[in-house]
Amino acid sequence: MQNIVQDISYNVSDSGFYGEFGGAYIPEMLYANVEELRRKYLIIINEPEFQMEFNDLLRDYVGRPSPLYLAKTLSAHFGANIYLKREDLNHTGAHKINNTIGQILLAKRLGKKRIIAETGAGQHGVATATVCALMKLECVVYMGSVDIVRQAPNVARMQMLGATVVPAESGSKTLKDATNEAIRDWINNAETTHYIIGSAIGPHPYPDMVTRFQSIISEEIMWQIQEKTGKKYPDYVVACVGGGSNAAGAFYHFLNNDKVKLILAEAAGKGVNSGHSAATSILGSKGIIHGCMTLLMQTEDGQIIEPYSLSAGLDYPGIGPLHAHLIKTGRAKVYAATDNEAMLSVIDLSRGEGIIPALESAHALAILGEIGLKKQDNVVVCLSGRGDKDLTTYLQYIEKNNIKL
């Protein structure tokens, strides 16, 4: 037990902070809603009946536990034992469903009739539309019009599920702009509506709430790694980071065990210094975005710098406050992968293991060569989603860049 770090807390404080990051910076109109959520969320999610319904749905509806798979070709390539945490096998194709199930159960208990959400890659929109169909609640999803084009299959899925998809036309017409529209809707409909935020971002208690719902990932990794290796914990946990929910969930039960190295993979886009990047931890500085104090890409006078990544799910100018804190304290290390590096990892995993990953997840694979792995290391990579939604992007990229398969 001497490995447990005692001096720095990586869990949220009562006032909603992770060190200097977090908090709830919200307009007056949302205060009552967010305050109600803050007062009730832990009470509700710790009720035995809630836990039972949540766990039953995760098992029978989502298909959990998701497997932990020893990827032999990848392991040989990187010279370490690479285990993939297969969130890509979840119902709807990514980790997002863990959180939307938790939040819809919470929304029902709060008596809400209407659900709104923002989405980038469309995975969170699909996961939200899915649980709204399941629970028969009205669903409105905001999505940047650029993302509507590059993630068309997910738009069709949301429509099939009965959701209304509303295009966001401002700014770069991507995730940040969709989030702005969703917040505007919420302000106008605060009493009837629950906003299901899809990542470990937003005002307190969202980052902690989303992290807890996603922590099923590390809860499973703990017993699965023991089953597979006889060791109590992995040497590394690696995850891509947009807002930070799959990483937060994969890290959660290891946060206070400093024997487990925590690695984040950001989207460098066309290169960290190219002016077309979403590498928030490198390019960002402290500021407020979408209700919390965190690291974000901004100009000197506080204007948000438009992020860029080929991957819609990582194309966000901020990072969750937990991750800002993990990076600031040195608990987690960040590496950045370019579009091109991520694409090459997509091809390697498809050809080498027969698994077509989401472009987001491929960023976590693309940085494995940089972290200094040793032969006996057990490395868990969170494979956050599957690549079906990205197939058009993949084929176009391969053709345009003359990549030989």
Q: Which is nearer to ligand PLP, 208 or 360 (CB)?
A: 360
Q: Which is nearer to ligand PLP, 190 or 220 (CB)?
A: 220
Active-site residue, selected from the candidate residues 96, 176, 261, 389 = 96
Distance (Å, whole) CA 196 – CA 202: 10
Distance (Å, whole) CA 241 – CA 325: 14
Give catalytic status of residue 384 as yes or no.
Answer: yes
What are 39's two structure tokens?
């007062």
DSSP string computed for 72-86? HHHHHHHTSEEEEEE
Asked if residue 125 binds ligand PLP (CB under 6 A), the reply is: no
Asked if residue 58 binds ligand PLP (CB under 6 A), the reply is: no
Distance (Å, whole) CA 229 – CA 225: 6
User: Closest approach of Cβ 384 to ligand PLP, in Å?
Assistant: 3
Tell me the window of 27-35, 184-192, 333-341, 356-364 that interacts with ligand PLP (CB under 6 A): 356-364
Asked if residue 90 binds ligand PLP (CB under 6 A), the reply is: no
Active-site residue, selected from the candidate residues 118, 181, 220, 341 = 118
User: Closest approach of Cβ 302 to ligand PLP, in Å?
Assistant: 24
Q: Which is nearer to ligand PLP, 190 or 322 (CB)?
A: 322
Find the binder of ligand PLP among 22, 243, 291, 318 (CB under 6 A): 243
Q: Which is nearer to ligand PLP, 124 or 290 (CB)?
A: 124
What are 353's two structure tokens?
């293991």
Distance (Å, whole) CA 116 – CA 328: 32
Contact by Cβ (8 Å): 128, 115 = yes
Asked if residue 317 binds ligand PLP (CB under 6 A), the reply is: no
Asked if residue 318 binds ligand PLP (CB under 6 A), the reply is: no
Asked if residue 360 binds ligand PLP (CB under 6 A), the reply is: yes
Q: Scanning residues 187 to 226, which ones bind ligand PLP (CB under 6 A)?
A: 199-200
Asked if residue 245 binds ligand PLP (CB under 6 A), the reply is: yes
Tell me the window of 70-78, 160-168, 353-361, 394-402 that interacts with ligand PLP (CB under 6 A): 353-361
Q: Which is nearer to ligand PLP, 244 or 284 (CB)?
A: 244
Q: Which is nearer to ligand PLP, 190 or 210 (CB)?
A: 210
Asked if residue 98 binds ligand PLP (CB under 6 A), the reply is: no
Angle CA 88–144–171, to nearest 5: 135
β-pair partners for 333: 263
Asked if residue 174 binds ligand PLP (CB under 6 A), the reply is: no
Q: Which element (helix H / strand E) includes 168? A: strand 164-168
Query: To 10 degrees, the CA torsion angle through 88, 124, 324, 260?
Result: -20
Find the binder of ligand PLP among 101, 131, 241, 260 (CB under 6 A): 241
* Contacting positions for ligand PLP (CB under 6 A): 94, 96, 121, 123-124, 199-200, 240-247, 313-314, 358, 360-361, 384-385
Active site residues: 96, 118, 384
